[in-house]
Amino acid sequence: MTASPDLGSGAQPALPPLFPFAAIAGQPLLCQALLLAAIDPQLGGVLIEGPRGTAKSTAARALAELIDAAPFVTLPLGASLEHLAGSLDLGQAMAGHALKFAPGLLARAHGGVLYVDEINLLPDALVDVLLDAAASGVNVVERDGISHRHAARFVLVGTMNPEEGQLRPQLLDRLGLCVRLANVEDAAQRQAIVRARLLFDADPAAFRARHAGAQAALAAQLRTARERLQPAGALPWSDAVLQAAGALCIAAQVDGLRADLVLLRAARAWAAWLGDAEVRPDHVQAVAELVLVHRRKPGAPQPQPQQQQPSPQQAPSNPPSQSPAQSRPPAESTANGAGDSPPSEADWGAMPPEPVGLLRVAVPSLLAREAAKAGAPATKKA
């Protein structure tokens, strides 16, 4: 007979083992975006759009394990603004007649990962506070008679299913990177992903031991990349890099200059990940789709699809000369072979006009009556 756990002992239950980041397969864009956000948290976080079961939460939890002593904090949908940002400690105030700040989830997430599932269902006020802290690295609280500020440098990871609603464009623009996932259609890749998950569920310790070397290498490379961004003036960029970033943003018809700034920061983080001494235009190309996919105007031209590149785990040994970010494939030609561009999101559900044949019908009685009025003989039926 198995003994029941002692719930009154105060011991914390053991957390379930995490699926290792190094073992994630089939989602290279997702891995790249998360690593970029971990290298430079001030990018503004990562928005992951996609259907259920595409490794969104698995990857976010695995990322926290790569960062030294990083907490993983989840923001529930029912959280209040005080729960998120912090407020006055009422217990201390009533007991000692002193004002004391009670930290919230932003303070707990400092140095780690703040995960928000279904971020599109959060109230806009909470999303505003989240994005302000993620971009600035500081949380400022001024309410309940207190004014307090503290460091809140964390990697913001938000997920959403587009079928359940969209974020406002103003909020979308403030999220640094975006990944739009799709279901895995390749049969061999799908089987490999399922097989890896089954092996992990059967024996998590053995599975993690099998990927321990690759996991340690990723953690060390992430640590090095973060350190390379610390010195002032590290990884400079030339006018050619600024020109490449500006040209991409103009082609995407983005609003404002936030996209340019995020694109340059992301390219700098990617150069740090690859171990390069400076930012080059190919670094900009490598991260452009992650920065522009959620900012591009509906009528803006789509970038040409590029050849699939190695995942970020393989990047140090074989730095890519092109972007690993894959754009969406061009729309298929229409039925008439014209190959028109797909309609914008505002035209969802619209159907193109179709030619309709006209049938001319002759009514003898009507023709005779009209001919009599005109004083001409009626036309006989053929």
Count the Cβ atoms, other than its own, within 10 Å of residue 99. 14
What SS3 state is found at 152? coil
**Phi/psi at 156 (5° precision):** -85, 125
DSSP letter for 322, please.
S
The full 3-state SS of 238-291, as one line of letters, equals CHHHHHHHHHHHHHHCCCCCHHHHHHHHHHHHHHHHHCCCCECHHHHHHHHHHH
For residue 197, give every residue at least 6 positions away whose Cβ sits within 8 Å of its Cβ, in sequence order, or none.
Answer: 19
Q: Is 258 in the active site?
A: yes
Instruction: Let me know the angle formed at the C-alpha of 323 by 322 and 325, rounded to the nearest 5 degrees.
Output: 155
Amino acid at 132: D
Q: 43, 265 in Cβ contact below 8 A?
A: yes
258, 295, 328, 369: the catalytic one is 258
CA distances from 77 to 44, 125, 141, 174 (A): 20, 13, 21, 20
Exposure string over 295-305, b if 16+ CB within 10 A, otherwise e: bbeeeeebbee
Alpha-carbon gap, residue 193 to 4, rounded angstroms = 35
Other beta carbons within 10 Å of 314: 14
CA–CA distance from 237 to each of 135, 176, 217, 269 (Å)? Answer: 21, 20, 27, 12
Q: How far does CA 360 lie from the centroid of its chain?
A: 57
Question: What is the rounded distance in angstroms from the CA atom of residue 162 to the CA atom of residue 237?
Answer: 36
CA dihedral 216, 55, 138, 124 (to 10 degrees): 180
Residue position matching structure tokens 């785990």: 313
> Do 229 and 264 touch, CB atoms closer than 8 A?
no
What are the residue numbers of the active site?
Answer: 258
